[in-house]
Structure 1
Amino acid sequence: MAIGVVMHTFDVQLADVDRGVYDDLTLRLAQHPSETGAFLTTRLLAYCLEYAEGIAFSEGIAATNEPAVFVRDATGAMTAWIEVGSPDPDRLHYGSKLTDRVVIYTHRDPSRVLPQYAGKKIHAADRIELRSFDPGFVEAAAAAVERRNSVTLSVTEGQLYLDVNGTNLASPMHVQSIV
């Protein structure tokens, strides 16, 4: 583990009514010194909102050929490539050729993320979704994150309800294609 890495533990109560997913999770996330709190929080949200059997975090910045989060089936084949932030078009192209499902979760303004994909060669770009939240939502959640965290995350009818250590937040999930 790199010097300066901060370990965070998240005890998550997940209730995704839209997908019928209910579980209690204990997650340990390492925050690299170059990683912002908003990026860490978006990684956590992406994991929870995509939670399924076979989901895992990658090795982080050391994993140049894996997304931030991925899902593998029982055979080890990757079934979902889940990026965080504003990934390079080449990474999306690679991920889209590897699996049928590619999703980006961003804490950034989508109007600033989407232009980087315009006119770029990205395999099956019309199937790639960009998911974002209301302005300030991720930053407010990140401000409530400590080293040990209690999180309740509920999703119903596209609306996300989040409690991080007693800080209650809500945002719709905004979903759009990258093309």
Structure 2
Amino acid sequence: MALKATIYKAQLQIADMDRHVYGDHNLTLACHPSETEERLMIRVLAFALNVPADDLRGRLEFTKGLSDVDEPDLWQLDLTGDVVHWIDLGQPDDRRLMKAHGRSERVSVYSFASSTDVWWRNLENKLTRTPKLAVWQIPAEQSQALAKLAARSMQLQISIQDGSVYVSTADASVEIHPVALKTPAE
């Protein structure tokens, strides 16, 4: 018998002063049996960092993720079904990123493992023709601290200012400093 996903509920209050995006979001997240709470919380972080100010070009949504290799962890689809923003977590290979780059207007990757530097050194030169790609490293100790905030029912306040992310619950808080490994071409 297959193991079932664990359901997490998160109420987010987002104040992104860098992008002038503010709002409350109620999320229901399915945590795949092979997914860690660290990865789950990186999904929440990626949502907060990329949620659009309005739904005019579609909503940012969680996908089947680990259950479907043809979908990213999050994406924003416009009303015609075209991919506006493809967001992957972890350390995807260059073929996956090139495919995503061809299918969407923007591609973002959030890597959070301590081996990110090795992965990126091996991949960086293969992705020179990907002007729509952004790659971010979440330092491993910060992503592990973020994982400790995970609970089946969460209320999170997320403030983003000057590139720093502050995630707070009633009992604890974590400061995260995403590191840009690659930014999209202007």
Inter-partner Cα distance in structure 2 for 1:123 and 1:58: 28
> What is the match of residue 104 of structure 2?
99
C-alpha separation between the residues in 1 aligned to 2:122 and 2:30?
A: 28
2:161 matched residue in structure 1: 156
| Aligned position for 1:65 | 70
Measured after TM superposition, the shift of residue 152 of structure 1 is: 0.6
Letter of the 1:91 counterpart: R
1:137 equivalenced with 2:131 (yes/no): no
Which residue is 1:85 aligned to? 90
Cα 1:172–1:94 change in 2 (3 A) is same
Per mean C-alpha deviation after superposition, the further-off stretch among 32-41 and 2-11 is 2-11
Q: Measure how far apart 1:106 and its partner are.
A: 1.6
- Letter of the 2:143 counterpart: V
How many residues of Structure 1 are paired with residues of Structure 2 in the alignment? 176
Q: How does 1:44-55 map to 2 (within 5 A)?
A: 44-52=44-52, 53=55, 54-55=59-60
Residues 1:133 and 1:60: Cα distance change in structure 2 (over 3 Å): closer
Give SS of 2:105's match: coil
Residue 175 of structure 1: SS of its match in structure 2? strand
Q: Deviations over 1:29-88 (max 9, x none)?
A: 111111111111111111111102321111122222111111112222111111111112
TM-score by length of 1: 0.89
Unaligned runs of 5+ in 1: none
Gaps of 5+ in 2: none
Question: For the residues of structure 2 that align with 1:104 and 1:60, how far apart are their CA atoms?
Answer: 13
Q: Indicate the residue corresponding to 1:111 in structure 2.
A: 117
Task: Give secondary structure in 2 for the equivalent of 1:136.
Answer: helix
Structure 2 length normalisation: TM-score? 0.86
Quick one: distance in 2 between partners of 1:117 and 1:76? 29
CA distance in 2 between counterparts of 1:127 and 1:78 reads 13
What secondary structure does 1:103 align onto?
strand
- 1:51, 1:118 → 2: CA distance? 26
- Which SS does the other structure have where 1:22 is aligned? strand
In the alignment, which residue of structure 2 is the partner of 1:16? 16
Tell me, what secondary structure is at the counterpart of 2:22? strand
- Aligned partners of 1:123, 1:152: CA distance in 2, in Å? 36
Distance 1:65 1:116 in 2: 23
